[in-house]
Amino acid sequence: MIFRKVAADEIGKLVRMYDRVLDQQPFDEYGPKWTRDIYPCKQDLTDHTEVGEFYVGEQEGEFACRAVLSCKEEPMYKSGIWQKKVADEEAAVIHLLAVSPQHRGKGVASSFLKYLISEAEKTARVIHLDVLEGNLPAARLYRKRGFTYCGDLEAYYEDIGKCIINLYEYDLEKEKANGGSH
């Protein structure tokens, strides 16, 4: 599997991958509850791609996984109780991580997350992310990869309304000091 940034001319391929994930969502034990054409919408995918924040794992010309890695704190996270206090530009944020249905259960998400951590190390001191309350598969993945649960926050998403999110943090400096075992 090759992990890399998405090129501007690959938006259609990215949309097709999202469609496969969304089509599978009703059959999943627990999904992110994304809503087609609302969140994420094609414009979100395009905007993140244009600024170099969209990453994918590609196998045999097909996107197997994808996520956004932003290099600035998420505004709604400011009221979170984080273990490590950092300036906004010292936090990386992971959004929209998903694995195509046919690539699940093969360690793809874990390998991809390891890659995203190594990319974040280049510019950030911590990684922050959120998981919708009850999304046990995502929570297990992040804990397994060394993320620390930092409490809950009430959030509002356009497609699902008010919800509770679980906040997770990964201390990149601590990992570097421990030999970078991510």
Name the CATH topology of 2-177: Aminopeptidase (3.40.630)
Cβ burial of 12 (10 Å; 0-12, 13-18, 19+) is exposed
User: Using CA atoms, how far apart are residues 131 and 51, in angstroms rounded to an integer?
Assistant: 24
Instruction: Give the other-Cβ count within 10 Å of 178's Cβ.
Output: 11
According to DSSP, the β-strands at 91-99 and 62-70 are antiparallel
Q: Provide the residue-wise pLDDT of the chain in tens; the chain has 182 residues.
A: 999 999 999 999 998 888 888 888 888 877 677 888 888 888 888 999 999 999 999 999 999 999 999 999 999 998 899 999 999 999 999 999 999 989 999 999 999 999 999 999 999 999 999 999 988 989 999 999 999 999 999 999 888 889 999 999 999 988 666 666 55
pLDDT value for 180: 60
* Cα-based distances in Å from 131 to 8, 97, 152, 164: 28, 10, 9, 9
Closest by Cα among 80, 99, 85, 95 to 150: 80
Tell me what pLDDT residue 32 has: 72
- Residue spans per domain, the chain: 2-177
pTM of the model: 0.90
DSSP code per residue over 41-100? -HHHHHHHHHTT-EEEEEETTEEEEEEEEESS--GGGGGS--SS---GGGEEEEEEEEE-
| Neighbouring C-alpha atoms within 13 Å toward the C-beta of 101 | 15
Do 98 and 55 meet the contact criterion of CB atoms below 8 Å apart? no
